[in-house]
Amino acid sequence: MKNFLLLLILTTLIVSCDSSSDSNNNESQFGRINGKVITKDLSPIEGAEIYTIPPTEVLVSKSNGEFIFVQVPIGLYRVYAKKEGYSPKYVNISILGNKTSEATIILDNFDVENDPPNKPLLISPPDDITVNSQPALDWMCTDPENDVLLYDVYFGLSANSLQIIESGIDVTEYQLSGLSTNSKYYWKIGAFDDFGGYSESDVWSFNYKEIDPSDALILNLSFDNIVNDMSSYTHSCQQTNITYTKNRFGKDNSAAYFNGSAYVEVMKSTFMDFTKTFTIALWVKPDPGYGNTYEGEVDLVSRYGAATPNMSSFAFLLKNGYISSEIYKTQSGRSYCPSDFLVQPNIWTHVTLVYNGTSLIIYANGVEVAQSMVPQPDPSNLNLFIGKRSLNNRIFKGAIDDLKIYNKVLTKADISQLAKQ
Closest by Cα among 367, 354, 383, 352 to 282 = 352
Closest by Cα among 29, 27, 45 to 37 = 45
Among residues 208, 232, 247, which one ends one of the domains?
208
47 and 91, same domain (yes or no): yes
Cα dihedral value 101, 92, 163, 25, nearest 10: 0
pLDDT of res. 22: 41
CATH at 235: 2.60.120.200
166 and 246, same domain (yes or no): no
In a domain? residue 229:
yes
CB 258 within 8 A of CB 387: yes
Euclidean distance between CA atoms 97 and 355, whole angstroms: 57
pLDDT of res. 7: 30
In a domain? residue 6:
no
Specify the 3-state DSSP secondary structure of 419. Answer: helix
Q: Which domain holds residue 148?
A: 121-208
In a domain? residue 384:
yes
225 and 352, same domain (yes or no): yes
247 and 290, same domain (yes or no): yes
Pairing between β-strand 297-303 and β-strand 314-319 as defined by DSSP bridges: antiparallel
Pairing between β-strand 30-38 and β-strand 100-106 as defined by DSSP bridges: parallel
- Global pTM reads 0.57
Peptide bond into 288 cis (omega under 30): no
175 and 67, same domain (yes or no): no
CB 209 within 8 A of CB 233: yes
How far apart, in Å, are the Cα atoms of 266 and each of 224, 301, 302, 336?
17, 10, 10, 24
pLDDT of res. 214: 61
pLDDT of res. 23: 46
pLDDT of res. 212: 64
CATH at 137: 2.60.40.10
Residue 32 makes CB contacts below 8 A (sequence gap 6+) with: 22, 68, 69, 70, 71, 72, 99, 100, 101
pLDDT of res. 61: 72
In a domain? residue 116:
no
In the 8-state DSSP scheme, what is residue 294? B
pLDDT of res. 176: 94
In a domain? residue 26:
yes
pLDDT of res. 3: 42
Longest dimension (CA), the chain: 90
311 and 375, same domain (yes or no): yes
pLDDT tens digit at each of 421 positions of the chain: 444 333 333 333 334 444 444 444 566 889 999 999 999 888 999 888 888 888 887 677 777 889 999 889 998 888 988 887 787 788 889 999 999 999 999 988 766 678 899 999 999 998 988 887 788 999 999 999 999 999 999 999 999 989 889 988 999 999 999 999 889 999 999 998 877 788 999 999 999 887 665 679 999 999 999 999 999 888 889 999 999 999 999 999 999 999 999 999 998 877 788 989 999 999 999 999 999 999 999 999 999 988 778 888 899 999 999 999 999 888 888 899 999 999 999 999 999 999 999 999 999 999 999 999 999 998 888 999 999 998 889 999 999 999 999 999 999 999 999 999 8
In a domain? residue 64:
yes
Euclidean distance between CA atoms 35 and 53, whole angstroms: 15
pLDDT of res. 229: 93
Q: Where is 68: in which H helix or E strand?
A: strand 66-73
252 and 344, same domain (yes or no): yes
Specify the 3-state DSSP secondary structure of 417. Answer: helix
138 and 22, same domain (yes or no): no
Closest by Cα among 222, 220, 235, 301 to 271 = 235
390 φ/ψ angles, rounded to the nearest 5 degrees: -60, -25
348 and 380, same domain (yes or no): yes
CATH at 54: 2.60.40.1120
246 and 392, same domain (yes or no): yes
Provide the domain count of the chain.
3
